[in-house]
Copies of this chain bind each other. A is one copy, B any other.
Amino acid sequence: MRIFIIKSSTAHTAFDYSIKDIPGTSGRLDLICRSLNAAFQLSHSFRKNVRVYTVLYGPPDPPKTIRFEGAKIKPKTLNPDEVSTAKLIGKILNAGKDIKEPTKEREVLPGIYISRMTFEDVVRKNIKYNLYLLEENGVDIEKVKFPQDNVGFILGDQNGFTEEELNFLEGLVPKITIGPKPYLTSHVIAFVNIYLDRIGIP
């Protein structure tokens, strides 16, 4: 299985944004929508072996974590385009409004869960898998020997990670890099998925 943990420091944690202007009103939820596209979509099919956590820290009620479980999501739930994904996330946020418990997940749709988990909660929960931090100035991806069973990647948004988050990850998760330029999160995910296909990692 492939896991992608995507942290957004700005994406809104309630459906208070306008679908007509997603980048301008949602704290760049468009980035999360494109990242879901890159994680799951193939031409005329869907990657069932993918799990995505989107960890949202924008206003008004952070954090909110949404887990997408490729193996359980029903067809036509998650589509390639940004607008329908932003609407879907809005519905999920609405359904998670009243959650009180700090780490318990609520299943909103088959394979889609919302919780109040923090970024640290999500990393700790998945640390038993083989996690890597995708950031600039890490070890080149070609030098990494990936395991055949489970592999996970942690990615930031347009603002990257805070000093505190980087300190938490340091020593816990190796830092790797896919290329010499600063790439969009969704492009990194698209590249990693195809790279793993090429080297035969399931």
Interface residues in chain A, defined as those with a beta carbon under 8 Å from any beta carbon in chain B = 19-23, 30-31, 34, 37-38, 41-45, 79-84, 158, 178-184, 186-187, 190-191, 193-194, 197-198
Contacts and interface: CB of A to CB of B under 8 A. Distances in A.
A83 B187 contact: no
Which DSSP category, helix, strand, loop or mixed, fits chain A's interface? helix
13 contacts: A22-B83, A30-B81, A31-B80, A34-B80, A41-B184, A42-B182, A44-B158, A80-B184, A179-B194, A180-B198, A183-B194, A186-B190, A191-B194
Contact of A83 (B82, B180, B183): B82
Nearest to A21: B83
Contact of A82 (B38, B82, B187, B193): B82
Nearest to A199: B179
Nearest to A30: B81
Given A20-B83, A23-B79, A187-B190, 20 more contacts: A22-B81, A23-B80, A23-B84, A30-B80, A30-B81, A31-B80, A38-B187, A41-B184, A41-B187, A43-B183, A43-B184, A45-B182, A81-B82, A82-B82, A83-B83, A179-B194, A179-B198, A180-B197, A181-B197, A186-B190
**Ordered nearest first, which 5 A-B pairs have the shortest CB separation?**
A43-B182, A187-B190, A190-B190, A30-B81, A82-B82
A182 B20 CA distance: 31
Contacts of A20: 19-20, 83
A20 B34 CA distance: 17
